[in-house]
Structure 1
C-alpha cells in the first residue's frame, strides 16, 4: 500500500516538551557528540546470512519486529551530561536505539552515585504518515491533488483515513481522495508524538548541578561476521592473508565516533529460531591491505573480545567493512589432494553384507589448503568464525582470480585451519570391488578393493587416498601392495606420488569377522 506524502518540515521537526511538576523536564545537554561504546555479539551463520534483506526491510518500512530476526545484538553504553535539580527530575535520554530492550537498561550517575531511578519509560511511538492522519480525524486539513497537467487544492474536515483513502468533508460535500497521489498539509505536530526513540527516567537527585550519566542497554538490529582472503603464491606453498569484519546496523540510529568491540564465541542468549538466506561479499582488494591497525584481541570469560583501537562511526541502515588485523604475508600453507570415495558408518547388530553396498563418499578428488594459526606463521590470534576465500594471480595479466571458498569455525591460536577449495580437474580417482566372499556360517567375509588415481597434469601430484572399513568393526588386512597409515579404528590412508600423465593403483584385501 502506498504511503501518503506529508509536508517535509513536519517529519523533520523536533519534539519540544514542556515543564513538569518534577522540577522541569531535562533534555540532553550534549546530544551531538555523546561518549558512546558499542559491543556487538553475533550468532550469524556465515553460510546463510544476507544483510541486504534487513537493510531493505528497514528502508521500506517493513515489519517493526524485523530487527529481532537479525542474528546478533549489541550492548550500547552512552555517557551524557544533564543539569539536575536536587530532588525529583524527569530526564529525557534521546537518540537511543529503536529496538532497545527496556528490561536490559542500566543506569549510573558517574557524578553522584546516590542518584536513584524511581521510574523508567521507553517511548517509541514515532511520527509516521498514517499515525499523523489518525490524530487529525475530525480536524481541518488541506491537500493538493494532481488532475492532468493541473493541480487542485481541497480543504476540509478529515472524516476517515483507511487503506490509503481519505474522506474529506468540504463546503460542497464529501471528497474521496487517493492518499498516495496527494500532497497533505497539516497544522502542527500533535502532542504525544516523538521524532526519536526516547528513554524517560524519573530521578531522585541528592544534589543539584551538572551530572555525568551513563546508560547501558541491549538492542536488536546489530551483528557482525568475519571474512578472510587468501592470496596463494605460484607454487601453493604460501599465501597472503587479510581479514575483514562486516558490520550490519539496522538498530534505528547511527553511533558516531563510537568505541567498537566485537565478541566472538558461542554466547547463549534466549532468542527465537530464525531463517537466513545466502550471503556473499564478492569484492576483494588486489594486493596487500597495508599495515593499517586492526582490532586488538583479549580474552573475555570463555570468549574472545576484539577492540578497535580508534573510534568509528557505525552508520544507520548500512553494512560496512573494517580491517580485523593487518595483512600478513607469506603464511606457510600446505595443499592437499584427497581421494575419499567412502564414508564412515555406524553399525547395527550385524555387519553390512550386501556386496554392492558402498556408503557414499566422493568420486571426485578434493583440493584442501591448510595452515597453522601460530606466531611462527605470522598469525597466532584467535580467529572468529567466518567465510574464507582463496585467490590466485593470473600470470598472464596479474589479476586475482577466485579459486574457492569455505567456512571456518572459531579457531584458537596454535590450531590448524583446513579449508576445502573445490575438486581437482586433471587428477581423477576410481574405486572398484574386485572380489567379495562371505561365509555366514563361520561369520567371516573378505573383500578386495582396487583404488586407482590418474594424473593428467604435467607435474607430479601427491594424493592422499583414504578408505573407511565400513562393513564391520572387527577387521584384519590380509593383503596389500603398499603400506598404509591407520587413522582410527576403521579408517586408513595412503599417501602416493603420481607421475605426470601417470597412474597409481592401490590393492588390498580385508577380512571381517563377527
Structure 2
C-alpha cells in the first residue's frame, strides 16, 4: 500500500504490527441520531463536514503481555469525542492505566496510527536508518526508540515498514494496559463520533381522480462521512432532538457514493420509545462505506388520503402589545397563490423531506414540489408547500379604515380578488389574520368563513375557469380604557 509522498521522497508500504495494534472489527453497533445538516447529504467537494452524532460500540481482539505495556487501537473515525471514549476488558484480566487519542489528520495520519508499533525506517536507496518502537510521527520527522532504549530522530526517509498486511486509517487510541497474563483478550470500546447522521426521506405519488390520495413511501437516508467504512453494522436510529452541548471539530470528507440498502424491502425497522424520543432498530446489519448515502425502508409503502389546497394568505399570527392605529399596518398585498398538501400521520413520522410526484398525460411520474415534515406524532397533521400555482393569482385592497378614539374602536374592510386562467374551476382558500389587536369581530362578509379563530379568518372561494371571484369582509377592533393605542 502506497502513502502520499513526503517532500521529495516517496513513502513505501507500511503495515501495522498485530501484537501491539488492534485493527477495527466489523459487526459494530451504532446508535445514530438524526441530523438535518445539508453538508452530510451534499454531493459537492466540501471537505469540512463535522455535523451529525452517533454512539459506536465495538469489540477488538488484542494481544496482551503480562504487566504494564502499550498497545494501539487503530481505524477509529477522524472526528470523535476524546473525553467520552470508554474501553474495558471483560473480567479482571486487564485494566486500562491511561489512554491517549492520536488524531488521524494531516500528511502523517497513517504513520500516527503506527505509534507504539515496531517499525523499520528505510532511506532513499533502501538502506536501514533505524528500527524499533515508533514514538511519534510529525512534520519534524519520526522518533524511534530501539531495543536498547536509545531514541533517534529521522528527518529524511523514504519508507517505513513493519510486519503485517495493512495499516490503520483514521484516528488511533494509544493505551497503557496492565495485564495479569499474556494472551488474546477481547476489548469492548465505545465512543461518540460525528460526520455521520440520518434523516427521513418520503416520496408521495398522487393518484388520479378528484379525491386526494397518494402512495406514500418512507425511508431512512443514512449519510456516512466519518472517515471510516462500517461493515455488517447493527443500526439503531433515534428520532427526536436531544441536546448536544459540545461543538464538533473539523474532519475530512470523502467523495459520496450512492449505495443500495442491503436489507430486504419487506424487512422493516422495529420501532419503540426511548425516553422522550423514538428509536428504530434495523432488522439486519448494513454496510456504510465512507462517503456514501444509504437508504433503508422505514415503514411499509401504503396508500394515504390527503388534502390539497390553493392558499392565498395575508398577514401573520403576530399580535402587537397595544392596538395599532397606523393606517399602513398590515396593508401588504401580493399576487402569489401557493399549493399546499396536508396528510395525517399514520404513525410517528420522524422529521425529513417529502418529495411529491404526480403523473403527466403519458402516465410518467413528474416532480411537483418538496417540503419539510417536522417530527409528527401519530394522528397529527403535516402540511407542506408544493409551490406557486401557475394559473391562479390574488389581489388585496383595503376598502375602508376608520378609527373612533372616543368609542375605542376601529373598523377595517378589505376586498380580495382572485383570478383563474386555467380551464377548470378552482377553490382557493383565503386566509386573513386580523392582527391590529386581540379583540375583534367579523362585522360583515360576502360569504361565511369556513374557519374562524382568535387570529385567523379563512374563506373557501370558488373561482370559475378563465374567470375571477371577489371576497369582501370587514372587522371591528375594540379596546379597553387601560389599553394605549399606537398611532
CA RMSD of superposed structures (Å): 3.6
Q: Provide Cα deviations, 1:147-206, integer angstroms capped at 9, x if missing partner.
A: xxxxxxxxxxxxxxxxx9xxxxxxxxxxxxxxxxxxxx9443289xx8533223223334
Aligned equivalents of 2:99, 2:249: Cα separation in 1: 31
| Change in CA separation of 1:8 and 1:260 when aligned onto 2, cut-off 3 Å | farther
Aligned equivalents of 1:359, 1:302: Cα separation in 2: 43
Partner of residue 270 from structure 1, selected from 228, 235, 245: 245
Give yes or no for contact 1:388–1:408 (8 Å, CA) kept in 2.
yes
Aligned equivalents of 2:394, 2:403: Cα separation in 1: 27
| Change in CA separation of 1:188 and 1:455 when aligned onto 2, cut-off 3 Å | closer
Partner of 1:351: 324
| Change in CA separation of 1:204 and 1:4 when aligned onto 2, cut-off 3 Å | closer
Give yes or no for contact 1:462–1:498 (8 Å, CA) kept in 2.
yes
Query: What are the equivalent positions in structure 2 for 1:289-308 lying under 5 Å apart?
Result: 291-308=265-282
Partner of 1:201: 175
Partner of residue 78 from structure 1, selected from 58, 64, 69: 58
The answer to whether structure 1 residue 334 and structure 2 residue 307 are counterparts is yes
| Structure 2 counterpart SS, 1:95 | strand
The answer to whether structure 1 residue 90 and structure 2 residue 70 are counterparts is yes
The answer to whether structure 1 residue 118 and structure 2 residue 87 are counterparts is no
| Change in CA separation of 1:322 and 1:345 when aligned onto 2, cut-off 3 Å | closer
Q: CA deviation at 1:141?
A: 4.1
Higher fraction of helix:
1
Aligned equivalents of 2:224, 2:234: Cα separation in 1: 15
Partner of residue 42 from structure 2, selected from 35, 43, 51: 51
Q: CA deviation at 1:9?
A: 6.3
Give yes or no for contact 2:356–2:367 (8 Å, CA) kept in 1.
yes
Query: What are the equivalent positions in structure 2 for 1:49-448 lying under 5 Å apart?
Result: 51-53=42-44, 56-57=46-47, 66-67=48-49, 70-110=50-90, 112-113=91-92, 115-124=94-103, 128=107, 141=124, 186-189=157-160, 195-196=168-169, 197-206=171-180, 209-235=183-209, 237-272=212-247, 291-316=265-290, 318-354=291-327, 356-358=328-330, 360=332, 362-374=334-346, 380=347, 382-396=348-362, 398-448=363-413
Q: Provide Cα deviations, 1:436-479, integer angstroms capped at 9, x if missing partner.
A: 22333433322222223333333332222211112222223222
Q: CA deviation at 1:406?
A: 0.9
Aligned equivalents of 1:258, 1:32: Cα separation in 2: 12
| Change in CA separation of 1:91 and 1:433 when aligned onto 2, cut-off 3 Å | same
| Structure 1 counterpart SS, 2:83 | helix
Give yes or no for contact 1:462–1:497 (8 Å, CA) kept in 2.
yes
Aligned equivalents of 2:325, 2:235: Cα separation in 1: 56
Which has the higher mean CA deviation after the structures are superposed, 416-425 or 356-365?
356-365
Aligned equivalents of 2:27, 2:392: Cα separation in 1: 59
Partner of 1:175: none
| Structure 1 counterpart SS, 2:282 | strand
| Change in CA separation of 1:406 and 1:273 when aligned onto 2, cut-off 3 Å | farther
Q: CA deviation at 1:498?
A: 3.2
Q: CA deviation at 1:108?
A: 2.9
TM-score w.r.t. length of structure 1:
0.72
Aligned equivalents of 1:501, 1:93: Cα separation in 2: 72
Partner of 2:152: none
| Structure 2 counterpart SS, 1:103 | helix
Give yes or no for contact 1:240–1:330 (8 Å, CA) kept in 2.
yes
Q: Provide Cα deviations, 1:282-316, integer angstroms capped at 9, x if missing partner.
A: x9x9xxx9944243322211112222211112112
Q: Provide Cα deviations, 1:464-496, integer angstroms capped at 9, x if missing partner.
A: 221111222222322223222453223111223
| Change in CA separation of 1:461 and 1:491 when aligned onto 2, cut-off 3 Å | same
Q: CA deviation at 1:271?
A: 3.1
Question: Which stretches in structure 2 are left out of the alignment for 5+ residues?
Answer: 112-121, 127-138, 140-155, 251-255, 480-487
Aligned equivalents of 2:449, 2:374: Cα separation in 1: 31
Partner of 1:150: none
| Change in CA separation of 1:485 and 1:401 when aligned onto 2, cut-off 3 Å | closer
